[in-house]
Amino acid sequence: MLQERTEPAWIDAFEAVLRRCALQPGDTVAILGETQSRPVLLELARLAAARIGADAFTLTLPSVFTRGEPVTRSTGATPAIQQLGPVIAALQACTLVVDCTVEGLMHAPELPAILQGNGTTQPRIVYVSNEHPEALARLLPDDATEARVKAHVKHLRGAKAMRVTSPAGTDLSISLQGAVAGGNWGSTTRPGTLTHWPGGLVLAFPAAGSVNGTLVLAEGDVNLTFKRYIERAITLTIEHDYVTHIEGGGVDAELLRSYFAAWNEQEAYAVSHVGYGLCDAARWDSMALYDKRDFNGTELRAFAGNFLYSTGANETAGRYTRGHFDWPMRGCTVMLDETVVVDAGKVVA
Ligand SMILES: [Fe+2]
């Protein structure tokens, strides 16, 4: 088991990320946390900001607990800010926000207001995924990943369609018309933007009615919401974005059906985002090596060549739900229009 305490190597890692976000002496930094944040992450951010000579403060909000709904995981939308005006104003006034909330600000309702700034200052945000620092330190942003992600974002934004196939039987057609596409490489220097660390993936939120076909979660693919490797294949039929049929036996399929049904919302069955991983340092097998509490799974969203399919909220399609699945899949071939970008699980250079 890994201990959660400050280690010089982990302060070095945080310092490297803050420097890559162009943090300068005298800049104002908010270290944003909540009562359920991993304390060591707040501490490492504070020590790293101090090394650089930035003026940092830590803001710890009460975590929000909702009764009467299923356990939520990996929504990417922290509810901790609760539209509190003074909190939004404090974050708007910073050069950099180090987001150590459990779920992150990616899809928080307050994000657009924060990124807009206050007219004088416009912050940038780095979300530190809720991982054990040992994993974060292995997955530092680097020039090669940044360049690769930027190239693939450009390609993705220019494409009209994505097609995904696999030897297990996946055959998906995805229209990218009207999709919102982007990517993350783990650092940002541009005011008004957010990144997450670890980074190294591209994704698109398709417009409504864009996804049709068959998705086969094969042995060794991952259900990140449960933090489990799939052991028995599950075949999903997808019609106009929605999972309409789930075929397969065993615990994996039963858990999937049960959690989908727990939301009692049609939107939970619809596509959230589609994309693929581009980070060479990230590893498919890493989940086997961590306790669940030490692991938030961004490494598996990012490992090079995985096709990542997600169900749940999709603002582009006008759908909102807190039920969310992320399924990193191996061995898929991904085509953007006529170009193969991932060939049987390997990123094409
Ligand atoms: Fe997701």
What is the average per-residue pLDDT within 31-50?
Answer: 98
Please give the distance, rounded to the nearest whole angstrom, from the Cα atom of residue 225 to the centre of ligand 1. 9
pLDDT at 205: 98
pLDDT at residue 349 is higher than 90: no
77-92: pLDDT as tens digits:
999 999 999 999 999 9
Please give the distance, rounded to the nearest whole angstrom, from the Cα atom of residue 272 to the centre of ligand 1. 7
Question: Which amino acid is residue 349, in one-letter code?
Answer: A
Q: How confident is the model at residue 126 (pLDDT cuts 50, 70, 90)?
A: very high
Residues with CB under 5 A from ligand 1 (ion): 310, 326
Please give the distance, rounded to the nearest whole angstrom, from the Cα atom of residue 84 to the centre of ligand 1. 26
Please give the Cα distance from 290 to 102 (Å, whole number): 18
Please give the distance, rounded to the nearest whole angstrom, from the Cα atom of residue 321 to the centre of ligand 1. 12
Please give the distance, rounded to the nearest whole angstrom, from the Cα atom of residue 310 to the centre of ligand 1. 5
Helices (H), 205-306: 251-263, 298-302
What is the average per-residue pLDDT within 323-336?
Answer: 97
pLDDT at residue 73 is higher than 90: no
Please give the distance, rounded to the nearest whole angstrom, from the Cα atom of residue 326 to the centre of ligand 1. 5
What is the average per-residue pLDDT within 82-105?
Answer: 98
Please give the distance, rounded to the nearest whole angstrom, from the Cα atom of residue 92 to the centre of ligand 1. 26
What the block records as the tokens of 96 is 């950099």
CA angle 83, 75, 31 (to 5 degrees): 55
Please give the distance, rounded to the nearest whole angstrom, from the Cα atom of residue 204 to the centre of ligand 1. 11
Which of 108, 101, 97, 32 lies closest to 63, judged by CA?
101
251-277: pLDDT as tens digits:
999 999 999 999 999 999 999 999 999
pTM of the model: 0.96
Please give the distance, rounded to the nearest whole angstrom, from the Cα atom of residue 178 to the centre of ligand 1. 19
Please give the distance, rounded to the nearest whole angstrom, from the Cα atom of residue 240 to the centre of ligand 1. 19
The residues facing 96 across adjacent strands are: 29, 124
Please give the distance, rounded to the nearest whole angstrom, from the Cα atom of residue 324 to the centre of ligand 1. 7
pLDDT at residue 230 is higher than 90: yes
Domain with CATH 3.40.50 in the chain: 8-136
Please give the Cα distance from 10 to 41 (Å, whole number): 9
CA 72 distance to own-chain centroid: 15
151-192: pLDDT as tens digits:
999 999 999 999 999 999 999 999 999 999 999 999 999 999
Please give the distance, rounded to the nearest whole angstrom, from the Cα atom of residue 52 to the centre of ligand 1. 33
pLDDT at residue 29 is higher than 80: yes
- Contact (Cβ atoms closer than 8 angstroms) between residue 251 and residue 234: no
- For residue 307, give Cα distances in angstroms to 85, 144, 177, 266, 315: 39, 20, 19, 24, 21
pLDDT at 2: 87
8-136 — its CATH code? 3.40.50
Please give the distance, rounded to the nearest whole angstrom, from the Cα atom of residue 308 to the centre of ligand 1. 8
Q: Tokens 């020039």, residue?
A: 143
Please give the distance, rounded to the nearest whole angstrom, from the Cα atom of residue 47 to the centre of ligand 1. 30
Please give the distance, rounded to the nearest whole angstrom, from the Cα atom of residue 314 to the centre of ligand 1. 10
What is the average per-residue pLDDT within 88-99?
Answer: 98
Which of 203, 211, 233, 216 lies closest to 166, judged by CA?
216
